[in-house]
Chain A
Amino acid sequence: MSDIESAIGKSLPRLEAAEKAAGKAIYTGDMELPGMLHGALLTSPYPHARILSYDVSAALELPGVKAIVTAEDITGGYIGLVCKDESALARGKARYIGEPVAAVAALDEATARLAARLIEVEYEELPSATTVEQAMAEGAPVLHEDFADYVKVYQAPEHEGNLLARAEAIMGRGVDGFDEADIIVEGSYEVGAQYHAYMEPVSVLASWGSDDRVTVWSSTQSIFRTQANIYEGLGIPMGKIRCIAPRIGGGFGAKAEVSGQLITVMLARKAAAPVRLVLNRDEDMITMRARHPGTIRVRTGAKADGTLVAREMELWFDAGAYSDDSPAVMNLALFYARGSYSIPHVRALGHAVYTNKLRLGAFRGFGNPQASFASESQLDEIAEALGIDPIELRIKNAIKAGEPWLGGQKIASCALVESLEAVRDASDWKRPREALPGKKRGLGVVGLAHTSAFLSAGAIVRLQGDGTIILNVGAVDIGQGSDTVLSQMCAAALGLDIEQVSFATPDTDSAPYNYGTNASRVTYTVGQAVHRAAMQVRMQLLEHAAEMLECLPEDLELRSGGRIGVNTEPPRNAEISFADIAGRSLWAVGGPITGSGSYIPNDPPNPEHTQMTGFLGLDALSVITFGAQVVEVEVDEITGQVQVLEAWCAHDVGRAINPGMVESQIEGGFVQGLGYALCEEMLWEDGRLVNPSFMDYKFPGTMEAPDKIHTIVLEIPEPSHPFSVKGVGEPPLVGAAPAINNAISAATGIRLKQIPLTPERVLRALLAKG
Chain B
Amino acid sequence: MINITLEINGEERELCVPAARTMLDALRNDLNLTGTKNACNQGVCGACTVLLDGTAVNACLVLAANIAGRKIVTIEGLGEGGRLSPMQQAFVDTGAIQCGFCMSGMIVSATAFLTENPKPSRHEIRAGLSGNLCRCSGYVRVIDAVILASERMGA
A: which residues have CB within 8 A of B?
Answer: 11, 13-14, 16-18, 20-27, 29-30, 196-201, 247-250, 252, 280-281, 478-481, 660-661, 663-664, 667-672, 693-695, 699, 701-703, 705, 707, 709
* Contacts of B81-104 to chain A: CB distance below 8 A: 84, 88-89, 91-93, 95, 97-104
Can you report 30 residue pairs joining A to B where beta carbons are below 8 Å apart?
A: A11-B95, A13-B92, A13-B93, A17-B95, A17-B100, A18-B84, A21-B88, A21-B97, A22-B76, A22-B79, A23-B34, A23-B104, A30-B28, A201-B39, A247-B99, A247-B100, A249-B100, A250-B136, A479-B99, A479-B100, A663-B95, A667-B140, A668-B135, A668-B137, A694-B40, A701-B139, A702-B130, A705-B139, A707-B126, A709-B138
Whether B107 sits at the interface, judged by CB under 8 Å, is yes
B35 and A668 form a contact (CB under 8 A):
no
Q: Are A693 and B42 touching (Cβ within 8 A)?
A: yes
CA distance A16 to B97 in the complex (A): 9
Measured CB to CB, the nearest residue on chain B to A695 is: B44
CB neighbours (8 Å) of B92 from chain A are 13, 17-18, 21
Q: Which residue of B lies closest to A668 (CB)?
A: B138
Contacts A14-B95, A250-B101, A702-B127 aside, 20 further interface pairs with beta carbons under 8 A come to A17-B100, A21-B91, A21-B92, A198-B101, A247-B99, A248-B99, A249-B99, A250-B98, A250-B99, A281-B39, A479-B136, A480-B136, A660-B95, A664-B136, A667-B141, A668-B135, A695-B42, A701-B132, A705-B138, A707-B122
In contact, A21 and B95 (Cβ under 8 angstroms): no
A670 to chain B, nearest CB (A): 6
Q: Could you tell me the distance in whole angstroms from the C-beta of B100 to the nearest C-beta in chain A?
A: 3
Are A701 and B133 in contact, with the CB atoms below 8 A? yes
Q: Is the CB of A14 within 8 A of B139?
A: no
Determine the residue in chain A with the shortest Cβ distance to B137: A668
What are the residues of chain B within 8 A of A707 when measuring CB–CB? 122-123, 126, 140, 143
CA distance A61 to B104 in the complex (A): 40
Kindly state the separation between the CA atoms of A695 and B44 in the bound complex, as whole angstroms: 6
Min CB gap B40→A, angstroms: 4
User: What B residues does A11 contact at CB under 8 A?
Assistant: 95
Q: Once the chains are docked, how many angstroms separate the CA of A217 from the CA of B138?
A: 28
B130 near A703 with CB under 8 A, answer yes
Find out whether the CB atom of B95 lies under 8 angstroms from the CB atom of A199: no
B75 lies within 8 A of A703 (CB): no
Q: Which of A197, A479, A669 has the most CB of B within 10 A?
A: A479
A23 nearest CB across to chain B (Å): 2
- Separation of A695 and B142 alpha carbons in the complex (Å): 23
Residues of A contacting B104 with CB < 8 Å? Answer: 23
For B75, what are the chain A residues with a Cβ–Cβ distance below 8 Å?
A: 22-23
Shortest beta-carbon distance, B117 to chain A, in Å? 15
B positions within 8 Å CB-CB of A: 28, 33-42, 44-45, 47, 74-76, 79, 84, 88-89, 91-93, 95, 97-104, 107, 122-123, 125-127, 129-143
The answer to whether A198 touches B130 (Cβ under 8 A) is no
Docked-complex contact B140 and A709, CB < 8 angstroms: yes
For residue B50, give the distance in angstroms from its CB to the closest CB of chain A.
Answer: 11
> Min CB distance, A750 to chain B, in Å?
27
Task: Give Cα distance in the complex from A249 to B39, angstroms.
Answer: 10
Please, which residues of chain B bring their CB within 8 A of the CB of A660? 95
**A200 with B88, Cβ < 8 A, contacts A661-B95, A664-B141, A705-B138 known:** no
Q: B84 contacts which of A21, A196, A250, A672 (Cβ < 8 Å)?
A: A21
Q: Write out the residue numbers on chain B whose beta carbons fall within 8 Å of the beta carbon of A249.
A: 37, 39, 99-101
CA A200 to CA B102, docked complex, whole Å = 8
Residue of A nearest to B39 (CB): A199
CA distance A25 to B35 in the complex (A): 7
Q: Which of A481, A695, A702 has the most CB of B within 10 A?
A: A702
B144 vs chain A, min Cβ distance (A): 10
Chain A residue with Cβ nearest B43 = A695
Knowing A197-B135, A668-B136, the reply to whether A280 touches B127 (Cβ < 8 A) is no
Contacts of A29 in B (CB 8 A): 34, 37-38
Out of A17, A481, A672, which one reaches B135, CB within 8 Å? A672
Instruction: Pick from B35, B97, B137, B142 the residue with the most CB of A within 10 Å.
Output: B97
For B143, give the chain A residue with the smallest CB separation. A707
Taking a contact as CB atoms under 8 Å apart, the answer to whether B41 and A702 are in contact is no
The answer for the CA separation of A703 and B133 in the assembled complex, in Å, is 10
Residues of B within 8 A of A480 (CB): 98, 136
| Chain A residues within an 8 Å CB radius of B79 | 22
Chain A proximity of B45: nearest CB distance (Å): 5
Interface centre among B33, B135, B143 (most CB of A within 10 A): B135
Task: Give the one of A18, A20, A196, A707 with max B CB within 10 A.
Answer: A20
Residues of A within 8 A of B134 (CB): 199
Which of B38, B99, B138 contacts A670, CB < 8 Å?
A: B138
Complex Cα distance, B98 from A694, in Å, reads 20
Q: Is the CB–CB distance between B97 and A14 below 8 Å?
A: yes
In the assembled complex, the Cα of A20 lies from the Cα of B130 at a distance in Å of 21
Cβ A200 vs Cβ B107 within 8 A: no
CA distance A669 to B138 in the complex (A): 7
Closest to B107 in A: A21
Docked complex Cα distance between A61 and B45 (Å): 37
Q: Tell me the minimal C-beta distance from B121 to chain A in angstroms.
A: 10
| B76, B97, B143: the one within 8 Å of A17 (CB) | B97
Whole-angstrom distance between the Cβ of B84 and the nearest chain A Cβ:
6
A250 to chain B: which residues have CB within 8 Å? 98-99, 101, 135-136
Q: In the complex, A171 Cα to B38 Cα: how many Å?
A: 50
